[in-house]
Amino acid sequence: MAGHSHATQQVEYVYRNESRRVLATLIRLLGDFDLAEEALHDAFAAAMTQWPRDGVPDNPRAWLVSAGRFKVIDGLRRRARFDASLTEIAERLYSESNDPALLNEEVVEDDQLRLVFTCCHPALSQQAQVALTLREVCGLTTEEIARAYLATPSTVAQRIVRAKAKIRDAGIPYQVPSREQLPQRLDAVLHVVYLVFNEGYSASSGETLTRHDLSAEAIRLGRLLIALLPEPEATGLLALMLLQESRRAARTTADGELILLNDQDRVLWNREQILEGRALVHHALSSRRFGPYTLQAAIAAVHAEARTAEETDWAQIVGLYDVLLRAAPSPVIELNRAAAVAMRDGPATGLALVEALFARGELLDYHLAHAAQAEFCRQLGQHESARAAYVRALALARQAPERRFLERRISGLGE
């Protein structure tokens, strides 16, 4: 009985730690997401029956891949009695299954990387890339993805089904891009990981400021990426996520209200994540092949190094924003730079920069831009202008804690 219990625990342990890697290999071998998921389910069902009886195999992952693949082949052969076209597929999969090179350990180790690049292929929409990555690489259910993005499970399921169909119908190859294609394709992968992190770190809407499950998944993806492909910008992105995540405990009150960066209790910042993030930043910078994620991580590292808000080296942060703007011009980065300039040179300078953005027609629908304008006006004693800007920000904000923060700011201005 003890042996049976131990084997069952081993199946559960392998499922938690290896199921996504097994799935990635099955997708490569079977060439179909749905067949691979069916195979994964069947393989673990077989393991629950056979491992307690026969013992845990020496290589559980290889056993599961083999069992899942042959279960699918058997199923296709049975269904071939009703659909003759399945016979050819089953026999092709069977003949290929005898090639030992297909389960070479080095080839298997690359399967997750292949899967990440497939899920983030530029032929798919951004929403589809995010949903498919969370489902296939991270193993989140459609219900979990739907909760995180405030969508219905049916909507998320449709996105995933359409993405799989697009991969199949367009013949999108299940492979790591060539060296020539890698920079562009890696950017798409990093962008998807960062989108997932951002939604977890500062939710775009809803009742809570953050969604820890999503930011944790993004960090896990970041670690997977640099383990499989240790490029400087992948390292920089992981550093950025760790440094931002290190502030989580200090970003809200006990009842979930927003606390601005300069008002946070820095004792609550996670020193372990800060140390790891800073080390990764230095490593990425030393490569001299870094980009926007590494520069943003360097800015986050300067914040992390300051024991108090007053000790922050704003001149260094402005200098880093200047470099970042040249590397990746963006009105949002300009807005963030304006906030840093205001801390260095005073609110009037920051206000002029924000109003210049508005004059160009930039960020007019971005609530944080109006909130920044309001804050600068408040600090300058321009209460009417501050109120008007806060009201515009409130009309655009979709997240409950941010809305309550803006309402408190409006109330604080008095009549």
Helices marked H in 120-173 — which ranges? 126-132, 142-148, 153-169
Mean pLDDT of the region 227-246: 94
Task: Confirm whether 75 is domain-assigned.
Answer: yes
pLDDT at 11 over 60: yes
Q: How many residues does the chain have?
A: 415
Domain closes at, from 70, 105, 140: 105
pLDDT at 107 over 60: no
Q: What pLDDT, in 10s, does the model give residues 208-233? A: 666 777 888 889 889 988 988 889 99
- Predicted confidence at residue 307, as pLDDT, reads 92
CB 390 within 8 A of CB 370: yes
Task: Confirm whether 21 is domain-assigned.
Answer: yes
The residue range of the domain holding 65 is: 2-105
pLDDT at 117 over 60: yes
CATH code of the domain containing 359: 1.25.40
Q: Which has the higher per-residue pLDDT, 235 or 100?
A: 235
Q: What pLDDT, in 10s, does the model give residues 265-285? A: 999 999 999 999 999 999 999
Structural domains in the chain (count):
2
Task: Confirm whether 43 is domain-assigned.
Answer: yes
pLDDT at 3 over 90: no
Task: Confirm whether 7 is domain-assigned.
Answer: yes
| 3-state percent helix, strand, coil for the chain, nearest multiple of 5 | 75, 0, 25
- Predicted confidence at residue 46, as pLDDT, reads 92
CA-CA distance, 162 to 167, in Å (whole number)?
9
Closest to 73 in 3D by CA, of 41, 46, 35: 35
Domain closes at, from 54, 72, 105: 105
Show the CA angle centred on residue 217, arms to residues 329 and 249, nearest 5°. 85
pLDDT at 141 over 90: no
Domain closes at, from 54, 77, 105: 105
Q: How many helices (H) and strands (E) does the chain have?
A: 20, 0
Sequence-ordered list of residues with C-beta below 8 angstroms from that of 255, at least 6 positions apart, any chain: none
- Predicted confidence at residue 6, as pLDDT, reads 74
pLDDT at 186 over 90: no
- Predicted confidence at residue 89, as pLDDT, reads 53
Task: Confirm whether 344 is domain-assigned.
Answer: yes
Mean pLDDT of the region 302-323: 96
Record the pTM: 0.78
